[in-house]
Amino acid sequence: MTQRTSKITTSHWGAFVVSVEGERIVDTAPFDADPAPSEIAHHVPAAVHHASRIDRPYLRKGWLTKSKDTLRGEDEYVPLPWDEALDIASQEIRRIKSEHGNSSIFGGSYGWASAGRFHHAQSQVHRFLNCIGGYVSSYASYSTGAAQAIIPHVLGLNFHKMTWGETNSWSQIEAHTGTLVMLGGINPKNAQVSMGGTTEHTTAAQFERFAALGKRMVSISPQRDDSPDQTDWIPIEPGTDVALMLALAYILEKEDLVDRKFLSSHCVGYEQFLSYLLGQSDSQVKSPQWAAPICGISPDQITALAKTMGSGRTLICLAWSLQRARHGEQPYWMACVLAAMLGQIGLPGGGIGFGYGAIGNVGKSALRLKGPLFEQGKNPVEDFIPVSRIADMLLNPNGAYDFNGQRRSYPDIRLVYWCGGNPFHHHQDLGRLSRAWQRPETIIMHDPWWTATAKRADIVFPATTQFEREDIGWAKGDPYLFHMPQMIPPVGQARDDYEILTQLAARLGCAETFAQGKSAEQWIVKAYDRFAENAGHDGIEIPSWEGLKSSNYVRLPIDVGQADQVPFEAFRTDPLANPLGTPSGKIEIYSSTIAGFSYDEVPGHPVFHPPQTQSEYPLRLLSPQPGDKLHSQFQAAIEEKKSHAALVIHPADAEDRGIQQGDPVKVQNNKGSCVATAMLKTTVKPGVVSLPTGGWFSPSAGRVDLSGNPNMLTDDCGTSLLGQGAAAHNVGVQVIKASNTQ
């Protein structure tokens, strides 16, 4: 009988126990210290050993034979020995560099491939590309592109620094906040994952504690289940949060609930904004009576909420989803203005917060250590694109575009090197991306599975999963440190990204620069020792690498609790001595810098843009993160158990269309359609449907995506000329009952 062994590892969704028999993972179990473990780990055994694993290197037949008769995504693949595939890949990289230069190479990677700190696909491929002369990079993220553009202009600091630093902790909220206003909600389902992992899942428990303390918690969202049951739900029309906040601001102004001293001493531009708020600049007063029919919230509700916010300590929280729509910069800017009007920025439990519930660890009380990493080096190529403008770049080589005050040109990309990630899951308007994906001369991909992106590459290298290699597990804000042991040998002929890139570097003459003669284990020990040294400077003792391997994990004493630093406290105490990083050193309610960009859609203060609607597509589509997986990971194993993705639709909208619970449906607009299974629930506002992302894009000849991926339907356009972020939400669709789903 084969002996079973069990060890603990971690992941982006937390720690869990992995049981192995022979060379197969057979089971997983929760980590004892996690009060609310994620269910995602249950899919690990089936996914790791799934038939969709890439077993050896492959080259696309049409690319190999230089045939123009087949398109990426519609071709066959030819298996090759490792050495031959590596030789061909290195020769192609050398050719592209020689003929077109490094500015013709795009380095794609989205960072979620593994929670391990060394075998981090993004770091690996970017280091390799830097060693061969550089590459065109991407800026910001799909999740927060618009926020990353606007927050530095308004609050003068990097958005992610604010998320992880200048943010009220849960302990501060518990001790000081009276009213928690959540625009877009705070969803424990989303908080089950975090970059590098969140070991103790506590978001849902926090709401139970808040409720027991009698705190007012208001969730303003088109979906009831965007927040736990303890919150008061105010349904809102998608894309109208700015109109609501303007009406709240109007009541604060009219009822003299504004902290005018704070506005005078810590902010600039309130008078310019006030002219817009009161309708002096555009002849439209932003009153509750104006906002009510736009938002679907009564004037009395708006007025009551404003008075509640102005009568005690209030924390305004925004979900990341609000800025993933056209003009996504505006709700973030307007929320900052609303918080400034209340005058509580810099007080414990008050002000503004972003990202609670978007990912785990935000708001946790912990000393922020400098983590272990694999250095990427310096990129000699300065050119970049906003991350979600990939299709624009490929379709418009040398085309001009605007971004955050700059007039830029898209590079002419001939080679795409992608390692870790699946853009044919998370990018918008996948039909358009499919057309753009035909433009480069060569696409090289590392992936463990035949994802939609792997099926559209020319050279495909089989990569190991985190269970087939050793690594360090650590995440910012998380007190746990893990040795991530190798559980099983590599599946098929899979190799680590580091081994693949080292072999390519040797062929390209830069092995010493990339690998420095070190094995993966030697790099891991070096990164770990540097981490331990840095932690020691902060007074935190880290066990030796061998000690960590022996214990499997350790919980570090980095909890801070009530000793948390209050966000913006120093600025509040003395704004002259502790200015923000804005041109004025203050909160910029009106930004002369942005006004100077002369973007009609983004003037110098926040404004409301009504969502675009089309009568033939009357339902507003939301595309939230899935609850049963991280993005699209493990989808191959999951889809075997489910017929189609679940579309949440209100019973009234379903009845109008003759749709019943469990019916197959098509969700469609002018970009195409996708199939789903109807789930009738009153947790979604009438006129709104919700379809989670995560499907492995599988289009039929008739532009029907059989995986149920909502990005078949979303708009591939920038949020605005300022941020050029992803604008996935609030597109119009129609839903029809389907007799078949082909």
Provide the annotated active-site residues.
110, 112
Residue in 438, 463, 440 with CA at minimum distance from that of residue 450:
463
Q: CA 528, CA 371: separation in Å to the nearest integer? A: 9
Going by their DSSP bridges, the two strands 58-60 and 77-79 should be labelled as antiparallel
Residue 82 has which token pair?
A: 């490792």
> What's the half-sphere exposure (Cβ side, CA atoms, 13 Å) at 648?
21
Length of the chain: 742
Q: CA 439, CA 397: separation in Å to the nearest integer? A: 10
Q: CA 453, CA 434: separation in Å to the nearest integer? A: 10
Residue in 56, 94, 63, 133 with CA at minimum distance from that of residue 450:
56
Handedness of CA 4, 5, 6, 12 (dihedral sign): negative
Place of tokens 């495909």: 460
Q: CA 615, CA 99: separation in Å to the nearest integer? A: 50
Q: Confirm if 372 and 533 have CB atoms less than 8 A apart.
A: no
Q: Residue 500, SS3? A: helix
Residue in 316, 329, 145 with CA at minimum distance from that of residue 220:
316
Directed axis angle between helix 288-295 and helix 241-254, to 10°?
160
Q: CA 329, CA 722: separation in Å to the nearest integer? A: 8
Q: CA 279, CA 477: separation in Å to the nearest integer? A: 44
Q: Calculate the dihedral angle through the C-alpha atoms of 218, 220, 222, 228, rounding to the nearest 10 degrees.
A: -30
Q: How far apart are the first and last CA of the chain?
A: 46
Going by their DSSP bridges, the two strands 664-669 and 688-690 should be labelled as unpaired
Q: How many of the other CB atoms lie within 10 Å of CB of 98? A: 8
Residue partners of 147: CB distance under 8 A and separation at least 6: 159, 320, 323, 328, 329, 332, 354, 723, 725
What is the phi/psi pair of residue 631, to 5°? 55, -115
Going by their DSSP bridges, the two strands 646-649 and 459-462 should be labelled as unpaired
How many helices (H) and strands (E) are present in the chain, helices listed first?
25, 30
Q: Confirm if 735 and 664 have CB atoms less than 8 A apart.
A: no
Residue in 349, 316, 320, 332 with CA at minimum distance from that of residue 181:
316
Residues paired with residue 153 on neighbouring β-strands, in sequence order: none
Q: Confirm if 521 and 483 have CB atoms less than 8 A apart.
A: no
Directed axis angle between helix 288-295 and helix 299-309, to 10°?
110
Residue in 632, 706, 693 with CA at minimum distance from that of residue 664:
706
Residue in 240, 215, 157, 276 with CA at minimum distance from that of residue 571:
157
Q: Confirm if 652 and 65 have CB atoms less than 8 A apart.
A: no
Residue partners of 509: CB distance under 8 A and separation at least 6: none
Q: CA 568, CA 108: separation in Å to the nearest integer? A: 35
DSSP letters spanning 373-424: -------S---EEETT-HHHHHHSTT-EEEETTEEEE-----EEEEES--HH
Residues paired with residue 353 on neighbouring β-strands, in sequence order: 317
Residue in 169, 145, 148 with CA at minimum distance from that of residue 157:
148
Residue 190 has which token pair?
A: 């989303």
